[in-house]
Amino acid sequence: MIIQKFGGVAMKDEMMRLNCIDHIKKGLQEFGEVIIVVSAIGRYGDPYSTDSLLQLTDAFSSSPAASDLVASCGELIAAAVLSAELAQAGVTNTILHGVRAGIWTAGDFGDGTISHIDTSSIVENLSQTRCIIIPGFQGMDKEGRIMTLGRGGSDLTAIALAGALHASHVEFFKDVPGVMTHDPREVESYHKLDHLTMDEFLVLLDCDRPIIQKRAALHAIKTATPLYIRGIASLESGTWVTP
């Protein structure tokens, strides 16, 4: 089994999602079972991005629980869209969300932590379909309320699921071909790194735009989960980050 995580850029339009579907098909052929974690479609300004949903009313600032509920909807929409397009492409799949995803959280709304993952529903559904989609960035607290996991929380969802399910590794699909020595948007001279240790990788996450959430990377260290960071639209090999 592998976990494949598709971010907002990878999900932003139908053409980009065709790349996602190709990677999912290849993952199924090579590993047999694929758990897909999705972020909301697009970035700020796009209609279904998390930031756009949070702009629907200023009242969300006075209701953290309602704010988390609306923030979680971007990933639900992304999961539904990808599920339908996978089915159209002949890939049988199931969406697990809410209590069915088994991700239980604690802490504060907007910055929750994963307290534990009940994998029973996932395992049960894998006996019926080899491809499961789980909306990232969210879980449920002990009162059954949706709680989100902070900026970049879908990365944590993917890595936590990998640890709980003993997956081979997590594949992150990005708009760059792997981990770069410098941010291509800021520096002209840069190159891709083929392999990093977790400790080397952590240093690169101390910036304004980390390639994955640092809290997620720390969880990967805790569970000894290998990461493979690669380009969504590129056939070039990516970057392995290993314990």
Report the number of distinct structural domains present in the chain: 1
Whole-number pLDDT of residue 236: 87
Question: Strand, coil or helix: what is 16?
Answer: helix
Residue 81 lies in a domain: yes
Residue 78 lies in a domain: yes
Whole-number pLDDT of residue 190: 78
Residue 43 lies in a domain: yes
CATH number at 155 reads 3.40.1160.10
Spans of the chain, pLDDT less than 70: 184-185
pLDDT digits (tens, 9 = 90+) for 187-219: 777 789 999 999 999 999 998 889 999 999 999
Residue 193 lies in a domain: no
Which range marks the domain in which residue 131 is found?
A: 2-175+227-236
Strand order in the sheet with 138-140: 111-117, 103-108, 138-140, 146-148
Residue 29 lies in a domain: yes
Q: What are phi and psi of 152, to 5 degrees?
A: 80, 15
Q: Cα(187)–Cα(180) distance, rounded to whole angstroms?
A: 11
Residue 217 lies in a domain: no
Whole-number pLDDT of residue 154: 97
Residue 145 lies in a domain: yes
Distance of CA 50 to the CA centre of its chain: 14
Whole-number pLDDT of residue 109: 97
Residue 94 lies in a domain: yes
Q: State what percent of residues in the chain have pLDDT above 90.
A: 90
Neighbour count for residue 61 (Cβ, 10 Å)? 9
pTM for the whole thing? 0.95
Residues in CB range of 229: below 8 A, 6 or more apart: 171, 172, 174, 178, 179, 211, 212, 238, 239, 241
